[in-house]
Chains A and B, each alone.
Chain A
Amino acid sequence: MSAPVQTASLTAPALPAAAAPAPAPAFERSPGYWGHVGRKLLRDPVAIGAGLVILTIVAVAILSPWITPMDPYRGSMLRRLRPIGDPTYILGSDELGRDMLSRLMVAGRLSLFMGVTPVILAFLIGSAIGIVAGYVGGWLNTILMRTIDVFFAFPSVLLAIALSGALGAGIFNAIVSLTCVFVPQIARVAESVTTQIRQRDYVDAARLSGASSFTIVRVQVLGNVLGPIFVYATSLISVSMILASGLSFLGLGVKPPEPEWGLMLNTLRTAIYVNPLVAALPGLAIFLVSISFNLFSDGLRSAMEVKE
């Protein structure tokens, strides 16, 4: 749980409205908190390692158009499925004779984009739904949370595939489907954290001192719930990466010839008897990113002292 953001008015007695000056809640994110989290993270070698792997892969993916050793789209019928360590192709070549290293670098762009975007969108939408449901409570909470329950009745892989199967293949549809998978999960966490915060004394204190609902949500609620929701969202990136590449692996996401790790894994399936090591490379990339995000999220969770 992040450090409670308290207003100065906490100690002030409930005065008649006229006497109470409009409280401009001193919104100071307790100055030492993020510094404290940062210092704790820096003492966690696993989290640092995972963070560095993520940063490296993201940097390579972003810079890939300028730094790939070869053209990732140009193939050669004569030099297909070269092994790893080939003098021209460091990591071998794929089933159409295209350089694997260059393709893996460029593929990172779409794979990361499709894995991270749904979680960011779901973080925004799910937090909004959950905070409103948790703060307003009552019948609105019942309606919102019962609707969310319906989506929990689908295993996430099934929901993602059902939605993108119905919507049709494509990058946009895949992102929409994955966002729909994660919104209910984040909304549920946001709702339960908000419900807890709403019952705290400092929320009552702010209300008694005349703060409007909007101000309370903006200061007391957001200040305290965003941390735990954020940690939860980072733990979803790993699943999202696996699912996003999984959709492309099934042919429901990115379309050829655009390189994407899941799609590359699919097209190289035919090559597992000829050149198994090259065929397994794109999956290794997905695995590396996914495990790094998991380990980093674990480190962040313990540094921020968020309970499961």
Chain B
Amino acid sequence: MLTFVGKRLVYVAPVAIGVSIVCFLLVHLAPGDPLSAILPVDATQETIEQMRAAYGFDKPLPVQYALWLWRVLQGDLGTSIATGRPVIGEVGRAVVNSLILASVATLIGFAFGTFFGFVAGYFRNSPLDRAASAIAVFGVSVPHYWLGMVMVIVFSATLGWLPPTGAGPDGSGNWRPDLAHLRHLILPAITMSVIPMGVIARTVRALVGDILSQDFVSALRAKGLGEFGVFRHVVKNAAPTALAVMGLQLGYLLGGSILIETVFAWPGTGFLLNAAIFQRDLPLLQGSILVLAMFFVLLNLAVDILQTALDPRIERG
């Protein structure tokens, strides 16, 4: 097991370096000078040169990358051009909010997804299967930002049951575990849960169908095991893959929440990215994307290791 973990780590290292290169180059992909957004139009050539030197933009690219990586490894993601505050603090606050929303959404999606998936897989080609599969296709096909708008239209604008935007009643930037904040969480979390629900339902349906058609299930039934006992075996066989898909979905939601967070004005990373893009705050853009991508890489690694630990059949090579 330890050698397996070691091998995975060796495999992840080049990917992590690649991710850091992509994030670094992102700023240089941008048209014009990264500083043009903050310098006054009538800045003298001298001021521009001073600023370029201050931010290190006057050095060759590989040197800039090495210096940048060195600072990043020490936890310094630079300073936001728009606010003048350290990027790491801004991203840290936003990641917590996003993580709360994405985790709740993943759990809701997992609960409904496995339920629909099991129903569809158990009763293949029945009307129940078709209904469950239709819900799954809906989940992967609906533009979630539109679904968010529809939710606001129905539950806030028309029925007035739930608040349409923000993380809390006071417009605060942080979510807290109380009833008022919980009310703000419901709509975005349900909207977001539709994507993992569809993906997990499709996976579980295929898994259950596969497992049920295997010989050992016939053997279990032949020896007189009740339907509930068989169900337990199916769950045990489907769990590692289903949990792995759930873990990956959490990563996708955390990185892909920008559209839903924009619709609901949720103060998370998506919201931060949106602000960074439109204020052309490139250090903030670079920092948030680096943090999100690295989180995704580590999550993939964790899922990989956990899945192997859970499922003894997977070869630890």
Measuring CB to CB, which residues of chain A are less than 8 angstroms from any residue of chain B? 146-147, 149-151, 153-158, 161-163, 165-168, 238, 242, 245-246, 249-252, 262, 265, 269, 272-273, 276, 279-280, 282-284, 286-287, 290-291, 294-295, 298, 308
Quick check: A157 and B251 within 8 Å, CB to CB? no
Interface of B, helix, strand, loop or mixed by DSSP: helix
Contact check, B255 vs A280: say whether CB atoms are below 8 A apart: no
Known contacts: A153-B18, A157-B255, A157-B256. The answer to whether A294 contacts B137 by CB under 8 A is: yes
Residue numbers in A under 8 Å from B146 (CB-CB): 265, 280, 282-284, 286-287
Collect the chain A residues with CB atoms within 8 Å of residue B157's CB: 272-273, 276
Cα of A165 to Cα of B288 in the assembled complex, Å: 12
Among B15, B137, B273, the residue within 8 A (CB) of A291 is: B137
Check A149/B138 contact, CB under 8 A, given A154-B296, A155-B251, A246-B143. no
Residues of chain B contacted by A282 (CB below 8 angstroms):
146
- The number of residues on chain B lying at the interface, defined by a beta carbon within 8 Å of a beta carbon of chain A, is 51
A161 touches B149 (CB 8 A): no
Chain B 147-161 interface residues, beta-carbon cutoff 8 Å to A? 147, 149-150, 152-153, 157-158
Instruction: Compute the total of residue contacts between A and B using a CB distance below 8 Å.
Output: 137
Closest to A247 in B: B259
B140 within 8 A of A: yes
Residues of A within 8 A of B16 (CB): 153
Q: Which residues of B contact A272 (CB under 8 A)?
A: 149, 152-153, 157
Contact between B15 and A149 (Cβ–Cβ < 8 Å)? yes
Q: If the complex has contacts A158-B289, A165-B273, A294-B137, are A147 and B256 also in contact, measured as CB distance less than 8 A?
A: no
- List of A residues within 8 angstroms of B289 by Cβ: 154, 158, 162
Contacts of B143 in A (CB 8 A): 242, 245-246, 262, 283, 286-287, 290
Q: Establish whether residues B138 and A161, one from each chain, have CB atoms under 8 Å apart when the complex forms.
A: no
Contact residues in A for B18 (Cβ distance below 8 Å): 146-147, 149-150, 153
Nearest Cβ on chain A to B266's Cβ, whole angstroms: 14
How distant is A17 from chain B, measured CB to nearest CB, in Å?
41
Known: A246-B145, A287-B143. A155 touches B22 (CB 8 A): no
Chain A residue nearest to B150 in the complex (CB): A280
Identify which of residues 100-141 in chain B touch chain A, using a CB-to-CB cut-off of 8 Å.
137-138, 140-141
Q: How far is the CB of B80 from chain A (nearest CB, A)?
A: 15
Whether the Cβ atoms of A168 and B142 lie closer than 8 Å is: no
| B83-94 vs A, Cβ < 8 Å mask (1 yes, 0 no) | 000000000000
B206 within 8 A of A: yes
- Sample of 19 further A-B pairs with CB below 8 A, known A153-B19, A287-B143: A150-B15, A150-B19, A153-B15, A154-B22, A157-B252, A158-B255, A158-B289, A161-B273, A165-B285, A242-B143, A250-B262, A250-B277, A252-B277, A272-B152, A276-B157, A280-B150, A287-B142, A291-B137, A291-B141
